[in-house]
């Protein structure tokens, strides 16, 4: 019995499978095939492109090389230049900075919501989340309006001598950091709030009774209890921040480019697919590496139990 | 005494963050009613930018594209995702780790990698076979791909919340698979299916990056149109269309609040 080729290997043998297995395959097959064909295959293709040679018209060609990666490290036709490496490091730095600042803002915010009267909490959480429901292009545009030359914020910065006269606060690295914080704050507040809501205050009071300073009480009694929420929030903020495209493109300009912009420019204007694909591969590795690391830490924290983030 | 001061400063901090969150949106709304072509000073109240919107054919096309893309992809994702959610639930006793990983893949993948890998893939196929060039079709395919997991997870969690004996009961009463679907599964799933459809639709309308890299020149959606207008140089019309989109979000927020209140009572 010859069957047409199926992208789903088990389905080819379904004749000999139990009805139960066949039922499973029928119900999940359309979705599995869809995701495999339209996401897994394209990703594998992109990973393949990263190891190919850049053709004369920006098309990937054989033979396989590591050229794209050495270009990413700065080795080009004109010798070594640090541009791409700076972009990589800048992405990393912006991600760390924005995640750190988001944590600093989200902690007091989540705590403030958790001590509010119960009927207000849902409304307060909604108030934090609603701006992130608007399109990210519009959100970045809002900041362009606020930071452009002549606005009160830009004039304030000029008054303090932070920027020159007739300049705006964007495009700049500062604007990118601000945009990242703005985009990802809710993703930190929600899991931290969930942790604060379950917080056992008896521990905090015990620490205070034993004359721990407020800071020490926070560190010993509050912080460990909110750590799972903090970890979940860190994953939800740092991974998409590292791959951010819209914010650095609109608020950053050339000198504040991040990895996402480098990747995109190689597929559009620059037309060096292998270089772009190599950047995308770094992003994928960072994503899965980050998820894996957080899973390991989460497991250790909860004493070996599975933590679903 | 000291505690009170701490509490007050937290409240103050809350309002500062609220200003930070809403100021960028408020500025857009404010200047959309500006009679002058500026986002730096306010000359007087006017609806001229809204009037211009109605006569902007490109913008109306973009609105149409957004709706067609959102509705088509959500309906497709609803069918495919519901099937996966059902399969995951019925066979939850099996080892389905591979399926879970596959379902989470579209969610965790950075959207720029998602969009670009599909673009590169579709372009290569187009070169070889002359199909799947950048068009509304490739956008629909890409959107369905990131919508499926959300539908599957919503449907799955609804099933998990049900009494498992209900499935046995339906079987014991000699309901055929079709009858079980028609009189038991679909009615119990209805609220989840509606929620999944609206979430999918929202995700589709909200998406910029994935659409941007898979769109042909004639398939601009609203976010793509706005992006282009910003790049060309800001026109106050953008404030007006952005205000309408912010308004839609606020209405959704109020509805969700009312809906939750109702559920609690």
**How far is it, in rounded angstroms, from Cα B252 to Cα B249?**
5
Using the predicted structure, report yes or no on whether residue A161 has a pLDDT greater than 80: no
What is the pLDDT of chain A when averaged over all its residues? 83
What size, in residues, is chain A? 309
Cβ contact B246–A276 (<8 Å) = no
pLDDT bin (cut points 50, 70, 90) of residue A193 is very high
Nearest by Cα to A135 from B223, B113, B200: B223
Instruction: Name the more confident of B168 and A51.
Output: A51
Structure pTM?
Answer: 0.86
pLDDT bin (cut points 50, 70, 90) of residue A12 is very low
**Range of the structural domain that residue B206 is part of:** 53-264
Inside any domain, residue B28: no
**How far is it, in rounded angstroms, from Cα B253 to Cα A132?**
11
**How far is it, in rounded angstroms, from Cα B31 to Cα A302?**
50
Nearest by Cα to B200 from B89, B69, B87: B69
Q: Is B90 left (phi over 0), alpha (psi -120 to 50) or beta?
A: alpha
A61 forms beta bridges with A53
Model pLDDT, residue A8? 47
Q: Closest CB to A112: pick one of B10, B148, B206.
A: B10
Cα separations in angstroms, B256 against A92, A125, A296? 37, 12, 36
Residues of B within 8 A of A151 (CB-CB) are 40
What is the interface pTM, i.e. ipTM, of the complex?
0.87
Inside any domain, residue B131: yes
Using the predicted structure, report yes or no on whether residue A109 has a pLDDT greater than 90: yes
Say which residues have a Cβ less than 8 Å from residue A157's Cβ, sequence separation at least 6: A163, A169
CA B208 to chain centre: 10
Q: Is A54 left (phi over 0), alpha (psi -120 to 50) or beta?
A: beta
Cα separations in angstroms, A21 against A267, B90, B167, B179? 42, 11, 18, 22
Model pLDDT, residue A4? 43
Using the predicted structure, report yes or no on whether residue A2 has a pLDDT greater than 60: no
**How far is it, in rounded angstroms, from Cα B50 to Cα B53?**
5
Using the predicted structure, report yes or no on whether residue A5 has a pLDDT greater than 60: no
**How far is it, in rounded angstroms, from Cα A309 to Cα A191?**
10
**How far is it, in rounded angstroms, from Cα B118 to Cα B144?**
12
Q: Which residue of A has its CA nearest to B39?
A: A145
Cis ω before A164 (30° cut-off from 0): no
pLDDT tens-place values along chain B, 265 residues long: 456 888 889 999 999 999 999 999 999 998 888 877 766 677 778 888 888 888 888 888 999 999 999 999 999 999 999 999 988 888 887 878 888 889 999 988 999 999 999 999 998 888 888 888 888 999 999 999 999 999 999 999 888 888 777 777 777 777 777 777 778 888 888 888 998 998 899 899 989 999 999 998 888 999 999 999 888 876 778 889 999 999 988 898 888 778 777 766 5
Inside any domain, residue B4: no
Q: How many domains does chain B have?
A: 1
Inside any domain, residue B75: yes
The domains found in chain A, sorted by start residue, are 94-301 (1.10.3720.10)
Cβ contact B246–A134 (<8 Å) = yes
- Domain of B98, CATH number, reads 1.10.3720.10
Where do runs of H (alpha helix) occur along chain B? 2-32, 48-54, 57-90, 97-108, 111-129, 136-160, 165-172, 177-180, 186-206, 209-214, 222-232, 236-264
Inside any domain, residue B15: no
CB count in 10 Å sphere of residue A114: 17
Inside any domain, residue B26: no
CB–CB of A38/B80 below 8 Å? no
**How far is it, in rounded angstroms, from Cα A162 to Cα A124?**
34
Instruction: Name the more confident of B81 and A273.
Output: B81
Cβ contact A141–B242 (<8 Å) = yes
Inside any domain, residue B95: yes
Least confident of A39-43, A169-173, B112-116: A169-173
Q: Which residue of B has its CA nearest to A292?
A: B108
pLDDT bin (cut points 50, 70, 90) of residue A303 is low
Residues of A within 8 A of B18 (CB-CB) are 127
């Amino acid at each position: 019995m010859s069957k047409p080729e199926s992208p789903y290997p088990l389905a080819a043998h379904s004749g000999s499978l139990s009805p139960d297995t066949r039922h499973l395959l029928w119900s999940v097959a359309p979705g599995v095939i869809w995701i495999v064909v339209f996401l897994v295959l394209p990703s594998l293709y992109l990973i393949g492109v990263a190891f190919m040679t850049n053709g004369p018209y920006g098309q990937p060609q054989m033979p396989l090389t590591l050229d794209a990666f050495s270009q990413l490290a700065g080795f080009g036709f004109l010798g070594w230049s640090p541009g791409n490496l700076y972009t990589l490091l800048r992405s990393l730095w912006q991600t760390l900075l924005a995640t750190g600042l988001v944590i600093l803002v989200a902690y007091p915010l989540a705590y403030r919501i958790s001590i509010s009267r119960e009927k207000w909490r849902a409304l307060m959480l909604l108030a934090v989340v609603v701006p992130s429901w608007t399109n990210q292009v519009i959100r970045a545009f809002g900041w362009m309006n606020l930071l452009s030359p002549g606005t009160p914020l830009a004039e304030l910065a000029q008054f303090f001598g932070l920027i020159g006269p007739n300049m705006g606060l964007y495009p700049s690295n500062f604007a990118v950091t601000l945009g990242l914080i703005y985009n990802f704050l809710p993703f930190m507040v929600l899991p931290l709030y969930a942790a604060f809501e379950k917080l056992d205050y008896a521990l905090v009071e015990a620490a205070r009774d034993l004359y721990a300073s407020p800071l020490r009480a926070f560190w010993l009694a509050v912080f460990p209890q909110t750590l799972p929420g903090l970890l979940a929030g860190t994953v939800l903020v740092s991974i998409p921040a590292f791959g951010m495209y819209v914010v650095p493109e609109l608020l950053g300009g050339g000198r504040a480019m991040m990895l996402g912009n480098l990747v995109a420019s190689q597929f559009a204007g620059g037309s060096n697919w292998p270089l772009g694909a190599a950047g995308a591969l770094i992003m994928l590795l960072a994503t899965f590496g980050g998820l894996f690391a957080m899973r390991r830490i989460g497991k250790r924290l909860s004493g070996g139990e599975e933590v679903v983030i | 005494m000291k505690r009170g001061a701490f509490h007050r400063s937290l409240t103050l901090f809350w309002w500062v963050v609220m200003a930070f969150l809403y100021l960028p949106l408020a500025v857009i709304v404010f200047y959309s009613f500006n009679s002058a072509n500026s986002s730096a000073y306010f000359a007087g109240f006017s609806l001229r930018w809204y009037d211009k919107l109605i006569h902007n054919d490109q913008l109306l096309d973009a609105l149409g594209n957004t709706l067609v893309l959102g509705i088509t992809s959500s309906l497709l994702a609803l069918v495919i995702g519901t099937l996966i959610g059902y399969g995951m639930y019925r066979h939850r006793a099996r080892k389905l780790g591979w399926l879970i990983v596959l379902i989470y893949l579209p969610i965790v993948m950075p959207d720029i990698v998602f969009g670009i890998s599909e673009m590169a893939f579709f372009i290569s196929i187009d070169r070889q076979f002359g199909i799947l060039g950048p068009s509304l079709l490739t956008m629909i395919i890409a959107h369905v791909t990131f919508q499926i997991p959300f539908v599957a997870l919503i449907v799955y969690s609804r099933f998990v919340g049900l009494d498992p004996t209900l499935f046995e009961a339906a079987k014991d009463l000699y309901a055929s698979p079709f009858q079980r679907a028609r009189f038991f599964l679909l009615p119990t799933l209805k609220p989840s299916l509606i929620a999944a459809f609206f979430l999918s639709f929202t995700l589709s309308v909200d998406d910029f990056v994935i659409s941007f890299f898979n769109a042909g020149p004639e398939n601009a959606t609203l976010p793509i149109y706005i992006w282009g207008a910003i790049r060309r140089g800001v026109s106050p019309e953008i404030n007006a269309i952005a205000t309408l989109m912010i308004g839609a979000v606020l209405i959704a927020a109020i509805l969700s609040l009312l809906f939750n209140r109702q559920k609690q009572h």
